[in-house]
Structures are given as C-alpha cells and as structure tokens.
Amino acid sequence: MRQGLLLQPLDGVPLVKAGDDLARITLTALQETQLTLAPGDILVFAQKIISKAEGRRVDLRQVVPTPRAIELAAIAQKDARLVELILSESSAVVRARPGVIIVEHRSGIILANAGIDRSNVDGVDHALLLPLDPDQTARELRAELVRVANVDVGVLIIDSIGRAWRNGTIGTTIGASGMPTLLDLRGRPDLFGRALESTEIGWSDELAAAASLMMGQAGEGCPIVLARGLAPQTRHGTARDLLRPKDKDLFR
C-alpha cells in the first residue's frame, strides 16, 4: 500500500522580523503543532518570511528612480520607484505592458515584477524583495535544522508565480536543499515497457503548489508547512535545476 501525503501548516509562527532565527521559530512551531520531525520530512517556507528574516524590506521613500525606470514606469503604469527596484533585481526585461513587467530575475527565474511584493508587508511605502540567494538560504536553513533537531530533513522555499500558458499564479520552487527538484524519467519503461523519451517531472514544483494551498494567499498567516510521506528519491536538487535554458524557452 502506498503511503499518503501529509501537509500540515504549523501553528504559532509569529510575524517575522529582520534577523529572526527561522530554525528556532520552526522548531517552536512544530512543538505548538504537536509534531516531531522525522527523517525524510520536508519543511516548506513561504518566500515572504525568508525575505523578512533576511531584511529584504525596502522603503520606497529612499529609492530614486533612474530615467530608464521612469520610462518603463510610464509603459507599465507603475510607481517609478518600484520599477527602479524591479530593474535593480533583474538581469533583463522580457516584456512590459500596463500592469506588469516580466523580467529575468538575477537568480534566473522568469517572473512578473522581479517577485517584488507589497502585500502582507507592514508600512505603506515598503516593498519586499526576493531573498538574495534562495538556494543558499535553503542550504543554510536545512543545515541548522539538521544540527539542532538531529534529523535529516529537506527545505523548500516557494513563491506564487504566474505561468506563460495558464491563468493564475501557483506555488513554485525558488530555493531547495536536501530534496529532489527535477526528476528525469527519460529511459525508464512505461506500463507497457516502452522507454519514456521526454518525461521530466518538476517534483518540487508539484510539492510547492500543494503546500501553497495550505498556506493561503491573503491573510491566513500560515507560512510554514510540514510535508511528510513523499520518500524523496534523492537528496540532491536546487531551484536552478528547474530553469529552462534560454535557447529552449519558446516564450522568449
């Protein structure tokens, strides 16, 4: 019998501030939820609490837009200060139209507005940037959790990102450690013994989407989810494994 998947939002997670110890907060929340970590568990973190802990909140009143930002702001009908932040976090602008600027983030992710968000951020003129290096953050957070709890767990950092061919945002991997991200099934037999020719599974994105349902997207306040029962086939994977090379990206 196959084991089922448990997705459990953790109780008692406080509003995170710059410099907070996320490993300690997580372990305290596990106690509040009456759960104990087990080998193979994966802890899924919303991007916002990672960014807040890293001090990635920016006061827009301190941002001076460049001429390029002012020009792009007129096209996108956005605050030029916000556009300046988008440009500073991006390696290229892919598309711009009223309401949205699609960029290649410096981490390689293609997304709207460089992932910069003003929802669930205190301060009228404050915005929150993505973590500096989500994969590195995931590695460091996992190492601390393993050290303190003495249990081999995985860490997944997710954000809500839109897709080129579908409406709606979906939970998506932006950082990972101690778990698979992209599973290459090419060459494996199907039910009838035929070798799979092109099947690659965005394993961690599937988990990210499921965990995002538990977190909610508005005022639910559930930024950490425990995932249990997946039995990861490998402990090696990063968010960068999921990035499609530009020469194979049909939308650029």
Query: At the fourth CATH level, which superfamily is domain 58-127?
Result: CofE-like domain (3.90.1660.10)
In the chain, pLDDT over 90 holds for what percent of residues? 75
- Domain ranges in the chain are 6-55+131-242, 58-127
- Which residues neighbour 225 within 8 Å (Cβ) at sequence distance 6 or greater? 7, 8, 9, 10, 43, 44, 211, 214, 215
pLDDT in tens, 78-112: 999 999 999 999 999 999 999 999 999 999 999 99
Query: Is residue 10 within 8 Å of 32, Cβ to Cβ?
Result: yes
pTM reported for the whole predicted model: 0.92
pLDDT in tens, 34-65: 999 999 999 999 999 999 999 999 999 999 99
pLDDT in tens, 105-159: 999 999 999 999 877 677 678 999 999 999 999 999 999 999 999 999 999 999 9
Of 91, 88, 12, 93, nearest to 56 by C-alpha is 88
Task: Determine the pLDDT at residue 195.
Answer: 60
- Which residues neighbour 124 within 8 Å (Cβ) at sequence distance 6 or greater? none
CATH (residue range 6-55+131-242): 3.30.1330.100
Please determine, for residue 189, whether its predicted confidence score (pLDDT) is greater than 70. Answer: no
Helix 67-76 to helix 80-88 angle (10° resolution) is: 110
Please determine, for residue 219, whether its predicted confidence score (pLDDT) is greater than 60. Answer: no
- Average pLDDT score, the chain: 90
Task: Determine the pLDDT at residue 191.
Answer: 63
Considering 114-118, 180-184, 223-227, the range whose residues carry the highest mean pLDDT is 223-227
95: β partners: 102
